[in-house]
Amino acid sequence: MPLIILTVTAIGIFSKTNIFEAFIEGASDGLKTTRDILPALICLMTCIGMFKASGALEMFTYIIKPITDFFGFPSECTPLIFLRPMSGSGALSLFDGILAENGADSLAGKIAAVMMGSTETTFYTIAVYFGAVKIKNTRYAIPAALAGDITGWIASSVAVRLLLP
């Protein structure tokens, strides 16, 4: 990090750029972007909290349990299917619980690890990026992103079963 700061400073000095003024302008732009996306983030975080507190996560997990059991998907990983698209920190907390309860070398631990790496926090990402550029009509972005997540969930289970002992 110090090398990066030194390099940026040196480039600024050699190009005769007012480094402080450029920094202040960048920080100002960052604050404007934060102001623009903050309402979407607050709404998303509130919805995630309500989703978890309402018991909906457990209900959805229970509803799809017959399907996941049929395909041999570990029931410990099923809550990740619903929480990962909404909250990276919530999914990380679930992931930590899976590892603590089952171990990193367990089937559930391996599948959860691959799921965490191969899926995205879809709704968070869309809220941030679309909110930053003020796009309100997401059109096909959400269905396409969720299709990618579903593919990641299925592929994580298949890949772990085929490639990892």
Predicted pLDDT of residue 123? 87
pLDDT digits (tens, 9 = 90+) for 75-126: 999 999 988 998 888 888 889 999 999 999 999 999 999 999 999 889 888 8
Q: 9 with 19: CB under 8 angstroms? A: yes
Predicted pLDDT of residue 44? 76
Euclidean distance between CA atoms 59 and 53, whole angstroms: 12
The answer as to whether 8 is a domain residue is no
The answer as to whether 10 is a domain residue is no
Q: 118 with 104: CB under 8 angstroms? A: no
The number of folded domains in the chain is 1
The answer as to whether 29 is a domain residue is no
Confidence (pTM): 0.72
The answer as to whether 12 is a domain residue is no
Predicted pLDDT of residue 46? 86
What range defines the domain where residue 113 resides?
Answer: 34-163
The answer as to whether 123 is a domain residue is yes
- Is residue 108 exposed (0-12), middle (13-18) or buried (19+ Cβ within 10 Å)? buried
Predicted pLDDT of residue 146? 92
The answer as to whether 4 is a domain residue is no
The answer as to whether 146 is a domain residue is yes
- What is the percent of the chain where pLDDT is above 70? 100
For every residue of 78-100, which 3-state class applies, written as one string? Answer: HHHHHHCCCCHHHHHHHHHHHHH
Q: Which of 83, 93, 108 is nearest to 161 (CA)?
A: 108
Q: What is the mean pLDDT of the chain?
A: 88
pLDDT digits (tens, 9 = 90+) for 35-64: 887 887 788 778 878 887 899 888 999 999
